[in-house]
Copies of this chain bind each other. A is one copy, B any other.
Amino acid sequence: MAVYTDIDDDELDGLLLAYDIGRAVACKGIAEGVENSNFLLQTDQGPFILTIYEKRVNSDDLPWFLGLMAHLNANGLPCPQPIVRRDGGLLSRASGKPAAIVSFLNGRWPKKPKPVHTQKVGDALARLHLAGADLAAERANGLSVSAWRDLLSQCGERSDEVHDGLYDALTTEVGFLEAHWPDALPRGVIHADMFPDNVFFIDEELSGVIDFYFACTDVLVYDLAICLNAWCFEPDGAFNITKARQMLGAYRERRALTRDEFDALPVLARGAAMRFLLTRLYDWLNHPEGALVTPKDPMEYWHKLAFHQKVASATAYGLDF
């Protein structure tokens, strides 16, 4: 939930003159996304989303993110369509910050995902990977294996405040991941943050994927590992093999996995768990005392990491190669 920046009426009216989407009749800050300020903008032509980018998003990356959304849309993935300005650009400025307007997507994100949802997510992820294949521009993943040792050292010994022995255990795990990370697998555009709150459904049909602000160029199946972690564990910590089987099966129906990709899933899932564990741990240790926004529990990902450490092969995720 986040509205950090507000927009003045006169400025909004002025901003809309640069577009061909009518006049604003309402504009409400919405509780969506944690990095930027988002507004549900109603014009006399319909609903849109106005995003004002806060400092956690590198403004140099914005043309890539907006270009990616336009590219994926053009290739049939349901995701926000950046609205083109009259001057041909996608990026504007509002309240002294970068801003963009994108199409509004109907649908709601599933608070309690079912196997049918994970099936649709597996399918959409494969579609995203295929649709992104011919995007020439690349963006490095700043939160992949090469970043983890540094992130862990920023958390430091204080990690043990969260769980006794955590710092040493994570140091060992980072070493393992650095030594065993699969570098030779097929690469391309990944979403890198396709959690349930970033995927909309109408009934049981997937109607949209949002929030491309962690998207980057990386190992494709690493994205699948992120989704396994985000979608296939139950609130009590149990791994739901039915959900995983649906996700992997639907992905493979659209994009076949190589043997190497399949075999790499457990180590990629450990890495995916490490990435979210570390950023949550950092936020946990550095959030202001008494803040109203409670940081997410890093231990959720510690338990997911432990699950994957015990996995003998990718068949543990419900399907044989």
Contact = CB atoms under 8 A, between A and B. Distances in A.
A277 to B, nearest CB: 24
A42 interface: yes
Interface in A1-55: 1, 3, 6, 8-10, 12, 24-32, 40, 42, 47
Contact of A26 (B8, B12, B42, B107): B107
Given A3-B1, A25-B202, A106 B42 contact: yes
Given A111-B6, A112-B8, A292 B292 contact: yes
A292 to B, nearest CB: 5
A290 interface: yes
Interface of A is mostly: loop
A40 B30 contact: yes
Given A26-B106, A28-B32, A31-B31, A8 B289 contact: no
B30 A108 contact: no
A140 interface: no
A137 interface: no
Most buried by B among A3, A104, A107, A292: A292
A133 to B, nearest CB: 30
Nearest to A110: B9
Contacts of A24: 108
A293 interface: yes
A293 B292 CA distance: 7
Contacts of A42: 47, 106
B111 A9 contact: yes
Most buried by B among A27, A30, A288: A30
A291 interface: yes
A1 B29 CA distance: 8
Nearest to A32: B28
B27 A30 contact: no
B40 A28 contact: yes
A38 to B, nearest CB: 9
Contact of A31 (B8, B29, B288): B29
A27 B289 CA distance: 31
Contacts of A47: 42
Contacts of A290: 288-291
Interface string A270-302: 000000000000000000111111000000000
A111 B11 CA distance: 11
A293 B107 CA distance: 29
8 contacts: A8-B112, A9-B108, A26-B104, A28-B32, A42-B47, A288-B292, A289-B289, A290-B290
